[in-house]
Amino acid sequence: MTQDPTPNHLTTLESHIRSEESRHPGATGAFSWILAAMTLAAKIIAGKIRRARIDDVLGPVGSSNVSGDEQQKLDVIANETLIRTLGDRAGVAILASEENEQPIILQTKEDQPYCVLFDPLDGSANLDVCVSVGTIFSILRHDSTADSVEESLLQPGTAQVAAGYILYGSSCVFVLTTGHGVNLFVLDPSVGAFLLVERNLRLPESGKSYSINEAYRLQFPAAYVNYLDEAHGQGYSSRYIGTMVADIHRILLTGGVFIYPPTKEYPHGKLRLMYEANPMAMIVEQAGGKAFAGRRRILQIQPESLHQRTAVIMGSRDEVDRVLAHLDAQDTDSPAAAPP
């Protein structure tokens, strides 16, 4: 039985993973290599974000990605960094990025067991104003029996073997789950390593705080408006950074609920199932919270396409249940009709 870390014990993310792997007799070490690549990418991206204004790499590239979102220069730089760090790792068969229409096939041999999917920079529209952004990733087993590359990736979130995010905030944090709870690491820039600061993070069961872009209220299905009215009457506070990974990180530590409902512009929700919702849902559930898309558990959605979008309700168990109770009381969760 592993003891909780005390202030006397210092463990890096890499050594933590190695010690986890040593408990699995058949482990090949591939997983350690992937996470070492993720930590390297995280440190490179963190450095580039800090220097962005100086290096004149803020602002849009002038093109859109496959989802139609305007690409920022740093979206492209972060994407390239991840592809370069993960690209020659033993054990990685396929990479799939929010920024690339098609997955990148590295190996299709059966002994390349993993696929890595990522949102290179979440919240990139916040970069220009010096607000937190993040990198989100999801690791799946490579299904070498699938008919096509895309099909091999279209696995429900329950099939994820690991998920994590790096938040480039006032400090740089790495949050990771391998399906046995959630651990939190912080980058110590003086030694260039992510150090374990909290093992088995637990999400508070409740928290009177909601995170939603309330400016779209007139477009929300009635159930969400009813939930907001209830929250207003009960002294909730509202916090919305506009970077999902930062909003959910806050909820992970202090409780509450993050909601991105269907809207007129995004009738199926805005966030991407495979790159954003699934990995964050795995983390939230592993920390004891809940993650739904309307009335469906996010992790059980069978994906139909790589870039598909989804609505999101995730966070503290009691707060998610409160939103779901409003959904249960309504017949529909379609976006509201256009206001008069």
Chain position whose Cβ is nearest to Mn ion: 122
The catalytically annotated residue of 21, 75, 247, 285 is 75
Q: Which does 128 bind (CB under 5 to 8 A by kind): Mn ion, ligand AHG, none?
A: none
Q: Which is nearer to ligand AHG, 91 or 315 (CB)?
A: 315
Q: What angle do CA 278, 283, 289 make, to 5 degrees?
A: 105
Q: Which is nearer to ligand AHG, 125 or 222 (CB)?
A: 125
Give the residue from 214, 211, 269 showing the smallest Cα distance to 243.
Answer: 211
Q: How far is the CB of 317 from Mn ion (least distance, A)?
A: 24
Q: What is the layout of strands, in order, in the sheet containing 92-97?
A: 104-105, 92-97, 114-122, 133-141, 162-168, 172-177, 182-188, 193-198
Q: Which does 256 bind (CB under 5 to 8 A by kind): ligand AHG, Mn ion, none?
A: none
Between CA 169 and CA 274 the distance in angstroms is 23
Annotated catalytic residue 188: no
Q: Which does 274 bind (CB under 5 to 8 A by kind): ligand AHG, Mn ion, none?
A: none
Q: What angle do CA 97, 101, 102 make, to 5 degrees?
A: 80
The catalytically annotated residue of 74, 86, 273, 276 is 276
Annotated catalytic residue 121: yes
Of 176-184, 193-201, 268-276, 312-320, which part binds Mn ion (CB under 5 A)?
268-276
Between CA 85 and CA 97 the distance in angstroms is 14
Q: Buried b / exposed e across 180-213, counting CB within 10 Å, b at 16+?
A: eebbbbbbeeeeebbbbbbeebebbebbebbbbe
Between CA 319 and CA 296 the distance in angstroms is 16
The catalytically annotated residue of 21, 119, 247, 319 is 119
Estimate to the nearest angstrom the gap between the alpha carbon of 76 and the chain centroid. 18
Query: Which residues contact ligand AHG (rule: CB under 6 A)?
Result: 69, 119, 122-125, 213, 242-244, 270
Q: Which is nearer to ligand AHG, 28 or 305 (CB)?
A: 305
Q: Which is nearer to ligand AHG, 97 or 152 (CB)?
A: 97
Q: How far is the CB of 331 from ligand AHG (least distance, A)?
A: 26
Residue 38 neighbours by CB distance under 10 Å: 26
Annotated catalytic residue 331: no
Q: How far is the CB of 133 from Mn ion (least distance, A)?
A: 8
Annotated catalytic residue 99: yes
Q: How far is the CB of 162 from ligand AHG (least distance, A)?
A: 20
Kindly state whether residue 122 participates in binding Mn ion, applying the rule CB under 5 A.
Answer: yes
Q: Which is nearer to ligand AHG, 15 or 240 (CB)?
A: 240
Q: Are 196 and 183 in contact (CB under 8 A)?
A: yes
Q: How far is the CB of 310 from ligand AHG (least distance, A)?
A: 12
The catalytically annotated residue of 14, 20, 69, 188 is 69
Place of tokens 């010690």: 19
Q: Which is nearer to ligand AHG, 32 or 79 (CB)?
A: 79
Query: What residues contact residue 113 under an 8 Å CB cut-off, 6+ apart?
Result: 28, 30, 91, 93, 141, 142
The catalytically annotated residue of 35, 82, 95, 121 is 121
Annotated catalytic residue 276: yes
**CA torsion through residues 288, 116, 35, 98, sign:** negative
Q: Which is nearer to Mn ion, 45 or 301 (CB)?
A: 45
Transcribe 167-199 into DSSP letters.
EESSSEEEEEESSS-EEEEEEETTTTEEEEEES
Kindly state whether residue 119 participates in binding Mn ion, applying the rule CB under 5 A.
Answer: yes
Annotated catalytic residue 70: no
Kindly state whether residue 247 participates in binding Mn ion, applying the rule CB under 5 A.
Answer: no
Listed in order, strand segments (DSSP E) in 54-124 are 60-64, 70-72, 92-97, 104-105, 114-122
Annotated catalytic residue 122: yes
Which residues contact Mn ion by CB under 5 A? 119, 121-122, 276
Active site residues: 69, 75, 98-99, 119, 121-122, 276
